[in-house]
Amino acid sequence: MKSELYETKLKFALTERPRRLRKLPLLRALVQETRLSAADFVYPIFVDQRLAKREEISSMPEIYRLAMKDIPAEIEEVKSLEISAVLVFGLPDQKNPMATEAYAWDGVVQQAIRAIKKAAPELIVVADLCLCEYTDHGHCGVVQGGKIDNDQTLELLSKTAVSQAEAGADIVAPSGMMDGQVKAIRTGLDEGGFADTTIMSYAAKYASSFYGPFREAAECAPVWGDRRSYQMDPPNRREALKEIAMDIDQGADIVMVKPALSYLDVIHAARAEFQVPIAAYNVSGEYAMVKAAARNGWLNERSIALEILTGIKRAGADIIITYFAKQASRWLQENK
C-alpha cells in the first residue's frame, strides 16, 4: 500500500525528464554542446636533420621523427585531413651551450618551415620556440654558474623568433618559461619587420612528468638537474593566471596551458578570465598512456581519445595541440 502511493507520487512529480533529449541519436546530436572538429587541432611534428628516413618514436606509437624528405608526404596528409596547423620541433645535427642551431638561417626548423610552406602554403605553421633541443646541456636557456640565466636567454629567443618568421612561420610559440620572453620576442619581431607574426605563448607550462616521451622524441632531457626553476609548480593555479595575464600584457596573441588533462581546471579558469584564444597541449605522456592501454586491450582507443579531446575543449580550450590530430580527424570524418 505504502509503496504504491510512493510510485504514483513519483510519476506525477517527475516533470523534468532529461532523458527526453537522449532518446535518439539525431536528437543527441542536436543538443550536443561541444563539437570537436579537425579545425581545432594542431599536429606536432618532429624533424630530424640527421635522418635519411623517418623513424617511429618507441614511446609514442605512430608518431615519427621525420627526415627532411618526408615532409611533403606528411604535410599532404595533414592537409587532406583538414587539420589547421602543425607545430614544428627540430632535432639539429649539433648542439652547443649557446644553442646556435636554434637561430641558424639553415637550421633544421628553418629548413623544415620552408619545406612545409612549399608543400602547403595555406597550412598554418607554428614554430616551437625553445632552446632545449639545441643546447648540449638540455636546458631551455643559457647556463651561467650552474643556473639558467634568464636575461641572456631572452636575446637568443628573440633572434630565434626572427629567424623562424623569416623562414615563413605564421606563429612562433615560446615554450621556455623565461620571464619577459614574450616582450623580448615581440620587440625582436617588430624591429625585424615581422609585426604580423603571431605569438602563441606557452604561458602556463608546468614542470610535468607527462613530458617523458617527448624528451626521448626530441632528445631534450636536461643532462643535469630539472626544469623546476623555470617551469611552473603543478599545485599552483593562481600563479598560472598571473603568468597568462603577464604574457597577454607583453603581447601574446594566444596563450597556452600545458599539459591539458591534469590541468583542466586551469584551462577553465583561463577561459573564464581572459579574452584571447586559449590553447591546450595534450602532451606526449597523455598520448602514450592511451596508446599503451589500448595496445593491451584495456581501453578502446578511439572512444577514449575522442572523449579526452572533447573534455579538453569542454573545459574551455579553443585550440588543441595533440598527437591524436590525424587519427581523431579521421575518426570524426567517419562519424559524420
Give me the residues that bind ligand PBG (CB under 6 A), please. 128, 130, 132, 140, 175-176, 211, 214-215, 220, 227, 283-284
CA distance 142 to 146: 10
- Closest distance to ligand PBG from the beta carbon of 128 (Å): 6
- Closest distance to ligand PBG from the beta carbon of 7 (Å): 54
Question: Which CA distances in Å does 26 have to 31, 37, 259, 336?
Answer: 9, 18, 34, 11
Q: Is 69 a catalytic residue?
A: no
- Closest distance to ligand PBG from the beta carbon of 158 (Å): 17
Query: Based on the number of CB atoms within 10 Å of its own CB, is 123 exposed (0-12), middle (13-18) or buried (19 or more)?
Result: middle
CA distance 86 to 88: 6
- Closest distance to ligand PBG from the beta carbon of 180 (Å): 17
Position of minimal CB gap to ligand PBG:
214
State phi, psi for 99 to the nearest 5 degrees.
Answer: 55, 40
The residue written with cell numbers 624528405 in the block is 69
Sign of the dihedral defined by the CA atoms of residues 232, 235, 237, 238, in that order? negative
Residue closer to ligand PBG by CB (options 72, 225) is 225
DSSP letter at 323 equals T
Please tell me the total number of residues recorded for the chain in this structure. Answer: 336
Burial 160-196 (b: 16+ CB within 10 A, else e): bbbbbbbbbbbbbbbbbbbebbbbbbbbbbeebebee
Q: Which of 159, 258, 291, 313 is catalytic?
A: 258
- Cα–chain center distance at 170: 16
Q: Is 183 a catalytic residue?
A: no
Q: Which of 95, 159, 205, 291 is catalytic?
A: 205
Residue closer to ligand PBG by CB (options 70, 286) is 286
Active site residues: 205, 258
